[in-house]
Amino acid sequence: MVAFWATALGLSLLLYVVLDGFDLGIGILFPFAPGEHSRQEMMQAVAPVWDGNETWLIMSAATLFAAFPAAYAILLSAFYLPVIVMLCGLILRGVAFEFRSRTTRYRWLWSASFFLGSLVAAFAQGSAIGAFVQQVPVHDGVFAGSVFSWLSPFALLCGVGLCLGYTMLGAGWLVLKTDTAVRDFSYAALAITLSGVLVFLLAAAVSVFAMHLRVADQWRQRPVLFVFLVIGAVALVMMLYAIVRQRDRLLYPMGVVMFGAAFCTMVLAVLPYIVPFSMTLAQAAAPPSSLAFLFWGAGVVVLPLTLIYTGVVYFIFRGKVVRGSG
């Protein structure tokens, strides 16, 4: 049961990152689009799926709370501030998404809110991930830091890096879904954001080893991590090929592979810990009877159902956006 719920948590987090990541990235690209018609088309490219993408954030939080309550207590205490900032960004973004289409006079305000909410949410998530990798201070199974313990140069660097990564995913999604000026704009954005992602990855790798973080030791102890490094490098080469050859259908999937490789690298670098090097999955898990009870409800019904309706929605709304189709 512990292994099952750990897998469910990892799957939910990964799906949130690669699905909600692209529409957050589109929000970051929004003010740079070439005109109002292009911005409307960008909205249409995410309108059928953006709300459902956030289901996976709820699924991740619920799984952590129910299956690993001790880790939930530590991590929420450690990241109260970035979590609140992230939620405020997501709320602002959601309101802006709905209100923008219902006004003309104040459309500029809701366009700016859509951009700001997306940027803030992405930056908060990246900063929290950076602080998580850097290690959460824990003493006797209790968070031992302050409300600002997460705040460090490395965490802020990761915040910028995730914004760049999400923007790369967003541009890849727009290339996949559009066939007008938005597509040309997205190809230009991809070249810039992919370069930014590469600079971030290099800076993050140097920082991890320069700061002697414990995750750096895992590269010597677990050579399997290099497999995911190779997978990420192959995906990068394929993205560069797709940009040069303008292979629309290849860009977003390769971006997903890059994120997947990075996610698997991070997970394998800290396992069997769920709170890095302080609390293992087994120590954080709920009692076996609780995990079994959850399995027959959330595990057998809710998780498969959410996977099914996510797949159905993406299948129904496949293909390029047609301007004016609603």
The pLDDT assigned to 6 comes to 93
Q: Give which of 57, 6, 56 is closest to 307, Cα–Cα.
A: 56
Helix or strand holding residue 273 (H, E) = strand 273-275
Residue 108 maps to which CATH number? Answer: 1.20.1630
- Tell me if 316 is assigned to some domain: no
When divided into structural domains, the chain yields a total of 1
Q: What pLDDT, on the 0 to 100 scale, is given for residue 311?
A: 93
User: Would you say 314 and 49 are in contact if contact means Cβ atoms under 8 Å apart?
Assistant: yes
Is 298 contained in some domain?
Answer: no
Residue 37: per-residue pLDDT: 86
314 in a domain, yes or no?
no
Structure-block tokens of residue 50: 């953006």
Contacts of 211 (CB under 8 A, 6+ apart): 134, 154
pLDDT at 299 (0 to 100): 84
pLDDT tens per residue, the chain (326 residues)? 899 999 999 999 999 999 999 999 999 999 998 888 888 888 888 988 888 888 999 999 999 999 999 999 999 999 999 999 999 999 999 999 889 888 888 888 999 999 999 999 999 999 999 999 888 888 888 888 888 888 899 999 999 999 999 999 999 999 999 888 888 999 999 989 999 999 999 999 898 888 888 888 888 888 888 999 999 999 999 999 999 888 888 899 999 999 999 999 999 888 888 998 889 999 999 999 999 999 988 888 888 999 999 999 999 988 888 765 55
Both tokens of 60, joined, read 């991740």
Backbone angles phi and psi of 142, in degrees to 5: -130, 140
DSSP notation for 19-57: HHHHHHHHHHHGGGSSSHHHHHHHHHHHTTTHHHHTHHH
pLDDT in tens, 169-210: 999 999 999 888 888 999 999 989 999 999 999 999 898 888
pLDDT of residue 140: 83
Cα–Cα nearest to 69, from 266, 296, 274: 274
Structural domain span for residue 272: 2-291
**Would you state the pLDDT for residue 16?**
94
Report the Cα 188 to chain-centroid distance in Å.
22
pLDDT of residue 324: 59
Q: What is the pLDDT of residue 231?
A: 93
pLDDT of residue 146: 85
